[in-house]
Amino acid sequence: MAREAATHADIPFGPEDTPWQKTFSRLRVVGGRPYGTAPSSDPRTAYLEVPEVPHHKVQLPATGLDEEQYAEAEALFRRHIDTQTRNFAGYQVNSALDYEKRLGHYLNRHLNNVGDPYQSSSYTLNSKVLERAVLDYFASLWHAKWPHDPEDPESYWGYVLTMGSSEGNLYGLWNARDYLSGKPLRAQHREPGRAALGHAPRGDGPHALHPVAFFSEDTHYSLTKAVRALDIDTFHALGSTRYPDDNPLGPGTPWPREVPSTEDGAIDIDRLAVLVRFFASRGYPILVSLNYGSTFKGAYDDVEAVSRTVHDICAEYGLDSRRVHHGDGEDAGHDERSGFWLHVDAALGAGYVPYLEMARDAGLVEQAPPAFDFRLPDVHSLTMSGHKWMGTPWACGVFMTRTGLQMAPPKASEYIGATDTTFAGSRNGFSSLLMWDYLARHSYDDLARLAAECDGLAAYTHERLLALQEQLGDDLWVARSPQSLSIRFRRPRADIVHRYSLASETVHADGTARSYVHLYAMRHLTRQRVDELVGELRQPGAFPPDPPAGTGTAGA
């Protein structure tokens, strides 16, 4: 160690280029040496550069930064973020934020909503009273039965997420996996004398407790991560190991990794039906995750049609409702539950489309996508991100299901004084405050008008880009899926992509890989900014002749 440190003694560090170990005073020296390890190489060259914020200005020596150094570093960072905020157009997050004046106070307060939102906690510095108000608001907006009532299986249950929809997807799939594999329900756990629940559950048939997951090729990467983390078999994994030659979409061809989508990016329902039937007919319980606002194309899966299709197929094979058996002899019992689960990943859509629907009925817009929420009896769970439509300065979101579908939590936690029904331990209580603040200050009328404006801005952007394409006489692959806030087109030059933070994705069409970007017509974007972008795209050289494929990923 000592030798290592000596070798790198001269690596300049921090705003004053002082060698790292020279930043140690007597108090910070332990056993005659600087506390901690010295850098093994120059961190300034180890990481990618952010030209606007030079690394040495923000490096953190053991002394910390003095007032002047701090002011300089913070000013650089602030200028960078403010510039990027001004032009931010590539992701489906609203960055027109206005919380600072009212909520700055709470940055110096702990707000931790650890444990179940409907139970008080011995951790009294929480915002659960606001969280419940937010959850009730969304339960109503999404046509669930509310308020939450632990005795009423049809009432909703939910919680405010510490991550965004990635956590909602993970939680939804975790719940779905355990539900479909026959684990005890939360309601059963509350009944006295449930010794039988300690035994392994049994279903009818060899695959009855082996769920298989389906989602489309336009699905967010968090789903792939969730099935891996939770060890859930996808139809691809199960199909290619157990039934390698039987792909029902093309006998003898390899199983697709995901369910094919239409060109607009919505799940191909006919193909989904064929795949679901293959597994349902063999007795596997079915887990379908749908997109309501797909990440790149902003496409809406037809949740209503899928739920009807999946329900009907499952009913043919007794999976619409079935028995799960627990225990032996005197302890024996069973419960009745569905053999399929429909999760809706509505990261953007669940925040936006309800208001678009209102706007349509008020004649402000012509169309809105079909229903996705608890109006549909077969929707089991859904999730939304708070930072997307609504707009919060960090990731957060809402997960919602029906109370009767909740699984028993792994363990009651006396320590926190509330049941451990959520995913995280400590839960961010500030996010509930942000959402509460936002919803308190925006009426349905306000939000319906804003939804109509965004829809109009998306149409405007689409027209402008089509006109540009026409004018340049060059196919820029400009496209907008129905009612989407995303407009996609050919990837322009790298500096334009960076200036507007445009998200890239490689889309395979007709056997060729095409490098796209998209722009999202969110509330902070203006026609003026769209015009500026279109102006830049009109300049010679804005579109390199051969756009490099696969040089970016989508997803906010």
Ligand X SMILES: *Cc1c(COP(=O)(O)O)cnc(C)c1O
Interface residue list for ligand X (CB under 6 A): 163-166, 220, 222, 291, 293-295, 345, 347-348, 385, 395, 397, 555-556
Give percent helix, percent strand, percent coil of the chain, each to the nearest 5.
40, 15, 45
Q: Rounded to an integer, what distance in angstroms lies between the CA atom of residue 89 and that of residue 502?
A: 6
Tell the residue number behind the tokens 């363990």, with chain if given.
411
Q: Rounded to an integer, what distance in angstroms lies between the CA atom of residue 221 and that of residue 231?
A: 15
Task: Please provide the distance, in angstroms rounded to a whole number, between the alpha carbons at the two ends of the chain.
Answer: 41
Q: Rounded to an integer, what distance in angstroms lies between the CA atom of residue 137 and that of residue 133?
A: 6
252 neighbors 208 (Cβ within 8 angstroms): no
SS3 325: strand
Which residue number is nearest to ligand X in terms of Cβ? 164
User: Helix (H) and strand (E) counts for the chain?
Assistant: 17, 16
| Tokens, residue 281 | 């007919």
SS3 152: coil
Q: Rounded to an integer, what distance in angstroms lies between the CA atom of residue 14 and that of residue 388?
A: 36
Element (H, E) at 505: strand 503-509
Residues in the chain: 556
| Tokens, residue 262 | 């239409």
SS3 516: strand
Q: Which is nearer to ligand X, 379 or 556 (CB)?
A: 556
Burial of 224 (0-12, 13-18, 19+ CB in 10 A): middle
Residues 6+ apart with CB under 8 A from 291: 215, 216, 218, 219, 220, 266, 267, 299, 300, 301, 345, 346, 349
| Tokens, residue 120 | 């008080």
Q: Rounded to an integer, what distance in angstroms lies between the CA atom of residue 522 and that of residue 499?
A: 17
SS3 354: helix
Residues 6+ apart with CB under 8 A from 372: 290, 292, 300, 303, 304, 344, 346, 349, 350, 353, 379, 382
Element (H, E) at 506: strand 503-509
